[in-house]
A = this chain, B = another copy of it.
Amino acid sequence: MWMETKTEEKEASGTRSSLRRCVLSGLLLCTGDMEHLDKYMQEKLFVLQLVVWGLRGVTRVILANNPLSGALILAALYWASPWQALLGTLGVLASTLTAVLMGQDSAEVSGGLHGFNGMLVSLLMGGFSSAGDWYWWLLLPACLGSATCVFLSSGLSPVFERWDLPVGVFPFNIIIVLYLLCTGPDNPYYPHHPATPPGLLEPNGTELIAVEVMLGIPLGVGQIFACGALGPSLLILGAVLLYSPLLAAHALLGSAVGTLVGLSMAVHHDLLYSGLAGFNGALGCMTVGGLYFTFSWRTHLFAIASAFLSAYADVALGNLLGTVGLPACSWAATLTATLMLLLTGSLAAYRIPIGRVMAPEHNLCSRSQWEAGDTADRESTDV
């Protein structure tokens, strides 16, 4: 409904100022959310549609929404580890198909909102497994776990909707923790590596290598997909750049903040080198910086605060969950992002309603439009 209003609005308000502003949105057609693709895909084969939904789902993990970026990310994952990438592909398909079978809202399914949790669950099951690559039995829990994510997304959404919050990666975080708890390190069928708390002390005399720490910053972006190799991580960063340069900048900034926090808390060096110290910061920074809030210098400051909060909370949760051998996953970033979205005061004025969130650049130029649209709607209702 809003989409139509927007198009009409575009035709109606042909003034120059809005024209100049919308040149930017015109450029975004090849990048950004690629909405035009949805219309084009409507008459195509189901399999083709499923591919696009899946690719959108792949990018949703890193808060983007662009099938081309999804293809790039998938290529990066296959480059890094074909087995994990296979698991991820399977996960995104399994959860998207489950959502179709369970009669979930079709707009959500086609937007990839039911794919990304399943993908992450499958990816991480592969990542934590200590049974080695190509352990085919793992496909069973990967499929079941991905399918279960749809139950959680669907069940949590009525609760989160009350405060206009996205469900985000809560389902992934819950399912992966339950899976790891279920199996445990010594399970005869599905053993996995126990996680170590980040606060574990280094053996004496270990010195920090500055270059490796610097390299950890782009790796932090890759770690959002549990990918610890530099090349694929840079490709993932490129995919985000294709979707939105603003989002990519915040991803790098957040990862840098996370690394800084890791240094200030003296976490285990491996976490700094592998980028695991940075990825929660990156996610926390991206959420606030441009995605769910209109970009401005104020939201930028809040984005940095959010990155710091996410990174510190990640160290804290890592220490807590590490005592029972569990990883902190992206709990810290997810909780911090939810908190930020709930904030009252000056940040709330920049908040974009969940249903209207698009690429940061698009949000910038569309905000004035839908605000005008709202006023028009209200006036027409009043008359």
Contacts and interface: CB of A to CB of B under 8 A. Distances in A.
A37 interface: no
B155 A340 contact: yes
A312 B182 contact: yes
Nearest to A312: B182
22 contacts: A102-B345, A104-B345, A151-B309, A151-B339, A151-B343, A154-B342, A154-B343, A154-B344, A155-B339, A158-B342, A158-B344, A159-B342, A181-B316, A181-B319, A182-B265, A182-B315, A182-B319, A183-B265, A187-B199, A187-B266, A188-B266, A189-B265
A215 interface: no
Nearest to A339: B155
A34 interface: no
Contact of A320 (B151, B181, B309): B181
Contact of A152 (B163, B182, B339): B339
Nearest to A99: B345
Contacts of A182: 199, 265, 312, 315-316, 319
Given A155-B342, A199-B184, A178 B312 contact: yes
A313 interface: yes
A323 B309 CA distance: 25
A374 interface: no
**Residue among A105, A158, A177, A347 having the largest count of chain B Cβ atoms under 10 Å:** A158
Interface of A: 102-105, 148, 151-152, 154-159, 162-163, 177-179, 181-184, 186-189, 197, 199, 201, 264-266, 305, 309, 312-313, 315-317, 319-320, 323-324, 338-340, 342-347
A316 B151 contact: no
Nearest to A157: B344
A104 B348 CA distance: 10
B342 A105 contact: no
A339 B155 CA distance: 5
Contact of A345 (B103, B309, B313): B103
A35 B102 CA distance: 35
A338 B151 CA distance: 11
A102 to B, nearest CB: 5
A312 B152 CA distance: 14
Given A201-B186, A312-B182, A154 B323 contact: no
A291 to B, nearest CB: 17
A104 B345 CA distance: 5
A346 B103 contact: yes
A177 B319 CA distance: 11
Contacts of A156: 339, 342
Closest 8 CB pairs of A and B: A103-B346, A181-B316, A155-B339, A155-B342, A178-B316, A103-B345, A182-B316, A184-B199
